[in-house]
Amino acid sequence: MKKLEDDSAHDPANWMAAMEKSLLWGEEIPIGKFFERTDVPTLHGAEPVLNEGPLIHRDPHVPLDVARSFIEELM
């Protein structure tokens, strides 16, 4: 096994290089960090509904008139 950290030429920010390393399995099996990027928003970070905080801390109560409007719309 070969540690990617010991390979000074390997750049974890390079997606193509990571993909090439991922295909190695035999005489050389790479271990370590293949790839990392930090510029992609997380799922919960991209969801504006969660900007106010976790759902679990909120009142889950749905007013009766709102519930009825949903039922009427769907029925």
Partner 1 sequence: MATGVQRASQLTMADMKGRVDPDWCPGCGDFGVLAAVQKALVELRIPNHSVVTISGIGCSSNFPGYMNTYGMHTLHGRALAVATGLKLANHELTVLVTGGDGDGFGIGGNHFVHSMRRNVDLLYIVMDNQIYGLTTGQTSPTSRVGMKTKSMPFGNIEAPINPISLALAAGATFVARGYSAEQKKASHRADQARHRTSRLLVPGRLQPLRHLQSRQYLSVVPSACEEARGRLRA
Pick the closer one to partner 1 by CB: 23 or 71: 23
Give kind and range of the element (H or E) at residue 2.
strand 2-3
User: Residues 3 to 62: which contact partner 1 by CB under 8 A?
Assistant: 3, 15, 18-19, 21-23, 25, 29-38, 40-45, 47, 50, 54-57
Annotate 34-56 with b (16+ C-beta within 10 A) or e (fewer).
bbeeeeeeeeeeeeeeeeeeeee
Please give the residue ranges that form the binding site for partner 1 (CB under 8 A): 1, 3, 15, 18-19, 21-23, 25, 29-38, 40-45, 47, 50, 54-57
